[in-house]
Amino acid sequence: MGLLIDSTVFIEAERKGITAKEAIAEISKHFPEEEIAISVITLTELAHGAARAKTLTRGAERRLFIQELMMSVPLMQVTPASAIRAGEIDGANRAKGVHLALSDLLIGASALDLGYKVVTANVRHFRLIPGLEIIPF
């Protein structure tokens, strides 16, 4: 088992001035037996935030945070099986009138395929993924 950490956790940490390593250490303290990883999709979301920073300095700080994060945890790829699972979940949800962001679908589907739980501050969205174990942060 393991934990796939959603970008919302790192966004909150970064806003509070906590480094990527410190955020991971805090999570490890609460879940010492679990492997901690992130999806490459999380990198996409964090890079988006860095590109949208209001100042050059803030953007540079966010890019450094991303670099530190990439050196601190395993990066999980989106596999073909995860992509298909995400599409199936999305199709079933949309048939019920429920819309979920593609990034959350891919992270959630990847976690399911890995047998991991998702740690997130965005419980509302991830609850829309059947069978996914969620740890609120």
pLDDT tens, residue by residue, 64-98: 999 999 999 999 999 999 999 999 999 999 999 99
For 85, the domain range is: 2-136
Task: Look up the CATH number of the domain holding residue 39.
Answer: 3.40.50.1010
DSSP letters of 20-59?
A: HHHHHHHHHHH-TTSEEEEEHHHHHHHHHHHHT-SSHHHH
pLDDT tens, residue by residue, 27-58: 999 999 999 999 999 999 999 999 999 999 99
**pLDDT for residue 7:** 94
**pLDDT for residue 77:** 95
Domain count for the chain: 1
**Which residues, in sequence order, are CB contacts of 124 under 8 Å at separation 6+?**
none
Is pTM, for the whole model, over 0.75? yes
Which stretches within 1-137 are classed as H helix?
A: 7-15, 20-30, 40-51, 56-72, 80-95, 102-114, 123-126
CB atoms under 10 Å from CB of 113, counted, come to 17
Taking 90 as the threshold, does the pLDDT of residue 120 lie above it? Answer: yes
